[in-house]
Structure 1
């Protein structure tokens, strides 16, 4: 049974994580995993984020303009994410999850710096057929190790030069598949010690996550494209640095 103080902490974490996701279209698992890891094991934190992550990503996925087109374009990437996440989910409950999180943080910092300096790359359409499944598989393996869905999916999706709302929707598609695959992987490896209790906690965490996302989406609509870009990469930089420093605690 969780104490009142722990429930309040979990609520605050998911409110903040939902706010970040509402503004930049991502960040809920990264923020939640980073903050919850202070008080619980990584596998327990991952179990709590399953329902908030799934619901907020579905919301993000279906409010955009190009659901069917994105599914046709990115299906191979989604298949790779599913395969890689299920295969790598055992790492999250293992002894090396901290080192994996630090590596993810370093990758986020590098990507954010490149983005703030406007040194991004473009993936030509002719290369998507082979790049998409490889990126999906790599993203899945990182998700299985860390519970975070960002690298290399986000840099790759940005390299496709999608419009702002299409990018947000594509991120929702990628993160929805990642969340579902992570749930399958955690159950498959037995990483959930008390599935009923953990999923109940995850359902309760949905309320503050949705509230934060609603507020964040309202803020995003008032931003210019350049401000959105700056907030997006600054958020990644902060999250990456947090993950790196957390390992040193």
Structure 2
């Protein structure tokens, strides 16, 4: 099943299993993001990886990820301040994604599903252990560039852009609202870099954009549901369940 086959498969009346998988995946992924502020691309890539190649899942992810992340980064009020601190990370993300995509493609290799599984397991472990970096201010530029490049390489290989960017951002000592906005900025940059790499490789044309727009509807519905639930459930317990499930899914994809 090639990337250009996604749209007809989604809208085929003979393939309701895939339709339900896409709808359910993006609703769940949006709900996770609504509750804890992240997780949409990670959940989507992990679950869709059960039924399609990472390059196909990444193409579906572009519009929902872009819209929800732009929404998230717009809510802060510290955009210019954060851009001044994060530009080495963002430049590294673009450089790493483009270089890796040029050398090995974007999630289309035979080992891409296992690489996705490994990325999910590593992210789940860091989340469950509440791993916390402390990044000295004097190291921000050099370490940010390295973290950005590494994140870009992993993004190109798996479509997941949380490792090691999220632990790095959590280690900058940002206030809560600043961290949420910084995550939105980082994820938006990664989505743009991934979309550009997919388009350059011929995996993101008008068919894929249309399919990704289709996926935006359940993602937004899920995000609104998650925001409604956020004040009614324990975020800490939800995070533990989320990372445990993500780790198990990653292990399954590894084998």
Same fold (TM over 0.5): yes
Q: Deviations over 1:101-146 (max 9, x none)?
A: 132123113312320xxx5231121211211111111111110110
How many residue pairs match? The answer is 240
- Segments of 4+ in structure 1 off by > 6 A? none
CA distance 1:132–1:59, change in 2 (3 Å)? same
- Is the counterpart of residue 173 in structure 1 residue 185 in structure 2? yes
User: 2:107 is matched with which residue: 75, 80, 92?
Assistant: 92
Cα distance in 2, alignment partners of residues 75 and 240 from structure 1: 31
Contact 1:93 1:191 in 2 (8 A): no
Unpaired runs of at least 5, structure 2: 1-7
1:236 counterpart residue number = 243
C-alpha displacement of 1:46: 0.8
C-alpha displacement of 1:39: 2.1
Given the two structures, how large is their TM-score scaled by the length of structure 1?
Answer: 0.89
2:12 counterpart residue number = 3
C-alpha displacement of 1:64: 1.6
Cα distance in 2, alignment partners of residues 25 and 198 from structure 1: 26
User: 1:110 is matched with which residue: 116, 119, 125?
Assistant: 125
Q: Deviations over 1:36-59 (max 9, x none)?
A: 122222211110110000011000
RMSD: 1.9
Contact 2:53 2:107 in 1 (8 A): no
C-alpha displacement of 1:66: 1.4
Cα distance in 2, alignment partners of residues 101 and 232 from structure 1: 20
Deviates more, 1:134-143 or 1:106-115: 106-115
1:65 counterpart residue number = 77
C-alpha displacement of 1:185: 0.7
CA distance 1:222–1:63, change in 2 (3 Å)? farther
Unpaired runs of at least 5, structure 1: none
Cα distance in 2, alignment partners of residues 105 and 43 from structure 1: 16
Q: What are the equivalent positions in structure 2 for 1:125-204 lying under 5 Å apart?
A: 125-192=137-204, 195-204=205-214
Contact 1:108 1:237 in 2 (8 A): no
Cα distance in 2, alignment partners of residues 107 and 206 from structure 1: 27
Given the two structures, how large is their TM-score scaled by the length of structure 2?
Answer: 0.87
Cα distance in 2, alignment partners of residues 95 and 218 from structure 1: 40
1:22 counterpart residue number = 34
